[in-house]
Amino acid sequence: MTTAPAYRQPGTVLFDHRFAVPLDHARPDGERIELYAREVVAAGRAAERERLPWLLYLEGGPGFGARRFVGQQAWLGRALRDFRVLLLDQRGTGLSTPANRQTLPMRGGPREQADYLAHFRADSIVKDCELVRRELTGGAPWTVLGQSFGGFCATHYLCTAPEGLDAVLITGGLPSLDAHADDVYRAAFPRIERKNAAYYDRYPQDVERVRRVTERLASERTVLTSGYVLTPAAFQSLGLLLGGGDGAHQLHYLIEDAFVRTAGGPALSDAFQEGVHAALSYAGHPLYAVLHEAIYAQDARPTAWSADRVRGEFPQFSAEKALAGDGPVLFTGESVHPWHFETDPALRRLRETADLLAARTDWTPLYDPAALAANEVPVAAAVYHDDMYVDTAHSLATARAVRGLRTWVTDEYEHDGVRAGGERVLDRLLALVRGEA
């Protein structure tokens, strides 16, 4: 481990740590990659840093580095009252050894790239965390806060290394223990349809606006100023915004600015194009697209582009059929499809690699129901009612399977509740694991 000198932000003192970990934990003497993590301590408690317990934050994803806070934003202020916080860039993300279209060709061809990325799931991430914990805490257990995919990782942690855990807090991230990716998406599309209905009920004027944009995209090839090819299906995937607390409003403001008058007639505005690119591009988090379905793979069944196959079972999401009738064009959610690797310049070089991962049949189980049934670690989970990203029924079934787990089921927040809710969500979960609520 190496640690850089401390530096400051408003109300916080920060330390940058770097760790070398095995690429393949089954071969500890083999190739090593680097992990980056940022330690944050409240400025008023910096002198007592060594006596504070640790809280490890695992970001959602897969493929996102830990959130870059400024000072004591969102839940961090609440955490810093009790802990020193470690914001880990999971392997392949942020300032950890990157895995993207620029770096993966150094591994070799698509086959070598796919074999490399097979080591980037929750099982490897948790083993990384255990190596980091031993170096930082001297062996003392820590509290883990897992958001979304970070909650998936925390659930795996409970199965495989509970001795490293003082408590576990999960927000919008209790996974099904046994669902195949097909089951996940069959449950997802009806939820996404409900989010569409709520969106159009709030903004009925957008029904015609969305149809107008979709008609334009269906009638002519549209390449954004960024090089992103905006097809009707790609445009529909803006529905990923509907999973956030203010996402419907963000989507509305984007749609209302779609067209501008020009000498040649109405055209998609530069502002709209820029907003669409910012929402849809995977340039900053390509592993989300490449590994997204692999996080659900646990046996010999390939994922085989599950979301794309299952979408065909829900014809109401067909833009072509919507335009042929008089109903609204429905947005989709955070699902990943083969065409993403054609429309997004950041993904095009990775198409064959993604195909190989989708065809892979040697995935190992991520969860151990017997270990969870015998769990002794205090666990609390915020389950968001009708969460667009993680199925509520799946989460509650898992909650019942984890001994001692306490849930807070709420419809006050969407999937981003731990960020949108400020200190309240974390405060509630801490009270639950401490027996104060």
Catalytic residues: 148, 362, 415
Tokens of 85: 């916080």
Tell me the β-bridge partners of 37. 17, 88
Q: How far apart are CA 35 and CA 89, in angstroms?
A: 7
Cβ contacts of 135 within 8 Å, gap of 6 or more: 1, 19
And the tokens for 242? 């509907």
Residues written for the chain? 437
Encoded tokens for 409: 């089921």
Contact 35, 128 (CB under 8 A): yes
Q: 144: closest CA among 129, 159, 134, 127?
A: 129
- Cα–Cα dist 240/245, whole Å: 12
The C-alpha atoms of residue 187 and residue 176 are separated, in whole angstroms, by 11
User: Can you read off the two tokens belonging to residue 167?
Assistant: 């408590």
**What does DSSP say about strands 259-262 and 265-268: parallel, antiparallel, or unpaired?**
antiparallel
The residues near 207 (Cβ < 8 Å, ≥ 6 apart) are 200, 328
Report which of 167, 147, 159 is spatially closest to residue 54, judged by C-alpha positions.
Answer: 167
- Read off φ and ψ for residue 169, nearest 5 degrees: -120, 125
Q: What span, in angstroms and rounded, lies between the C-alpha atoms of 226 and 379?
A: 44
SS3 content of the chain, % helix, strand, coil (to 5): 45, 15, 40
Residues 6+ apart with CB under 8 A from 294: 118, 121, 303, 357, 360, 363
Whether residue 98 has a cis bond before it, omega within 30° of 0:
no
